Chains A and B, each alone.
Chain A
């Protein structure tokens, strides 16, 4: 309960800061919107040339992409801590975080919040509606809850992987280029998993389970019964990976060396 009220306090603070810079906000909103529009056009152009890919139709692939954008947007809004090493370890901001009576990871998530990234979710939903209507998908009333559950699961998978990577900074203070690489690998999760060879499929399912952010959960909505097992694993994988990440984080904080001053 305490954490929820702290969350809302930070969020209102965030909005206040954003509203302070009126022109900035407007420009940012506009450019975000443009970015999403370009994104949308790009997808339609790219997938315009493929009709069927290993048994998946064009519209199905577009649907997967649309779904992927939603957990990715939520991840971007709250767990965008790619600059953790630079900001908190090298510049020593972690010292400040550790002197406050709230869990350190939670504080950093709140401080790095970027709510405008949630716009991406709207794009995602538009794409899903577009592809879904062309596929004549049938939705049940409970699908909305399953959708939320899968989005949360996918977000936690993403967050778990990136938080785990951020904790490397506690052990080694060298800057690494692993984060951008991971963003690229993350993109593989939004294509049908069975187009890859077995090793990559295994990695994307169990080691860096990005497939749980795109293909697997979408397979449920696309009515691909052979993937249902994986689809319902999504929230579980999310919880497992997020728990591992928090565990690594707590172990890392114990090793924190601080920045000299």
Chain B
């Protein structure tokens, strides 16, 4: 199957100037400015196949939005090659955007003052969708997203969750083969999130729609994406399956002990000295967490319980969120 997105050595630089401090500094800025070239996206390459769902993650300022904006034709890249849906997004912008759908979670695509269905009608015109195609496709979308009752209300009267579902429907009016979602679930409650995820899965299966998704909510990625691309300071630091990331990084378990008495870290360390265990003080008093290899779990519990009085014990998988945090702290992916 053809690639939906091909990116090669993509780079985007912004020129910004740093202002000097104080009044004198401001005067000096008037004449000479300290320009600094900031490389928001630094020579990244990747490809996405048609029908894939890819999670694009990174901290704030890692270059996610800049990449998305280049892929959607909003920004011109400084250098590098982008082919999306067989076109150069910025060069053939007006023809190209006909083949993509975009949802920016923090920005509305709909007209504020008019009813949702009027917005849809305008977009239908703008994207040149025939009445028949609109009817066939959108009836289903409206039903699945459960936005039928909202259609005659103006956008400004909708709640965030309601608006987001309408935004999603609006991005799909022309049934694009490629969908960009920039933080689509930001600020939404669990029920709406679930509904949106279910819907995205469905259109992916039904139309083989490619979806590129940025989010800070790792549970979105866990629910939807088999593949993640992780970005840090403009560079890709991981590109691969989520499962692999988990096995390489999160094979251990987390055991949380709540002791009935006070304990000292050294005692714990000595107790498990011959095993590969890492102890960490919890947020509450007398709570300690041990990071343990799966094979050592029973051993560690046995030793600790034999020596101390316990109030509570919990065994957890290391969460994806924690894995990702660890990766950011170390700055690269090993293994």
Contact = CB atoms under 8 A, between A and B. Distances in A.
Contacts of B95: 101
Nearest to A103: B94
Given A96-B104, A101-B98, A16 B125 contact: no
Contacts, number: 72
B2 interface: no
B296 interface: no
A98 B98 contact: no
B107 A10 contact: no
B107 A99 contact: no
Contacts of B76: 254-256
Interface in B22-75: 65-66, 69, 72-75
Nearest to A100: B126
Nearest to A21: B113
A51 interface: no
Interface in A75-105: 92-96, 98-103
Interface string A97-129: 011111100000000000000000000000000
Interface footprint category on A: 20 to 34
Most buried by A among B107, B121, B154: B107
Interface string B82-103: 0000000010011101101010
A28 to B, nearest CB: 14
B308 interface: no
B14 interface: yes
B107 A13 contact: no
A101 B111 CA distance: 17
Interface string A225-261: 0000000000000000000000000000011111011
Contacts of A16: 114, 118
Given A9-B121, A261-B106, A99 B128 contact: no
B93 A98 contact: yes
A94 B104 CA distance: 12
Question: What are the nearest 8 A-B pairs in CB distance?
Answer: A9-B125, A101-B98, A99-B102, A98-B74, A101-B97, A101-B94, A17-B113, A99-B97
